[in-house]
Amino acid sequence: MRRDYSGLEPRRRQPWGVVALVMLTGLAMMRNGVGGPDGPPLPAASARLTGLPSPSTSAAAVRPLPYSAAAKIRIPAIKVDAPLMDVGVDADGWIEAPPAQDPNLAGWYQNGISPGQSGTAVIVGHVDNNAGPAVFYGLGALKKGNHIEVTRFDGSTAVFQVYGVEVFAKNNFPGAQVYGDTGYPELRVITCGGGYSRTGGYDGNVVAFARLTATR
C-alpha cells in the first residue's frame, strides 16, 4: 500500500541536472494493437509553444501550494481521469514509467516538485500498450487554454492551464526547457509520440506545458 503522506515533508530532492536531460527512455512504449493506422494525435501548429507567457492578473494572484503528494489527474478535454502513482528513477538514472499493464494509470515524479508548489512538477504516462490506447493517448490533441486538474493527498486540487504542446525528438530532448524552473508553479505532462517503428518504438516525447491558475 501507499504510505501516508500527511504531515510529511518531501525527502531531499535530486538535482534536476541528474535527471532533466534524459530522453525518458522509460516512456518508449509499444504501439502494437493500437486501433487506426495513424497513431496518437500530434500537437497542432496552433498549440505550439511560443515562449513563456506572462501570467494573467488572476493567475499571478494564485498562491503556490505547500508540498503534498499527488493522487489523481483529470484532463477533461481528452477525457483523462486517472490515479497517480509515485515514480522515481531507475538504476541508470532514467525517469520510470508506471506499469504498462494498467492503461489508465499515470505517474508523478516524486523526487521533484509537488503539483501546485512553486517550480515545475512532472507527470508521465503511457501513450499505449499492447492492448491499445493508454492514459495519455490523446495528449497531443490538447489546445492552449485547456485545463489539467491534479488532486493531492492533502485534499486540495491544483488547476493548471495549458499554454503549449510540443513533440520533441528523444535524441535531442530539451531537458532544461522542459523541466526548468520558470519562477511559477508549473506542470509538465509527458508521453511518447512522433514517429514509430517496431524496432525503435516512438522517436519522440509529447510534452504539455501548463501553469497553475487556480486552487481549491
What does each C-alpha distance from 185 to 43, 137, 203 come to in angstroms?
Answer: 23, 25, 29
Q: How far apart are CA 142 and CA 103, in angstroms?
A: 19
For the chain, what is the domain count? Answer: 1
**Domain annotation covers residue 1:** no
CATH number at residue 156: 2.40.260.10
Q: How far apart are CA 3 and CA 191, in angstroms?
A: 26
**Domain annotation covers residue 13:** no
pLDDT digits (tens, 9 = 90+) for 30-86: 333 343 456 899 999 999 998 888 877 667 779 999 999 999 999 999 999 999 999
pLDDT digits (tens, 9 = 90+) for 94-138: 778 899 999 999 999 999 999 999 999 999 999 999 899 999 999
Q: How far apart are CA 100 and CA 105, in angstroms?
A: 8
pLDDT value for 56: 73
**Domain annotation covers residue 114:** yes
Q: Look-up: residue for cell 486538474? A: 149
Using 50, 70 and 90 to split pLDDT, how confident is the model at 5?
very low
Q: How far apart are CA 44 and CA 1, in angstroms?
A: 40
Q: How far apart are CA 108 and CA 73, in angstroms?
A: 10
**Domain annotation covers residue 48:** no
**Domain annotation covers residue 17:** no
SS3 181: coil
Residue ranges making up the domain that contains 38: 23-43+56-215
**Domain annotation covers residue 15:** no
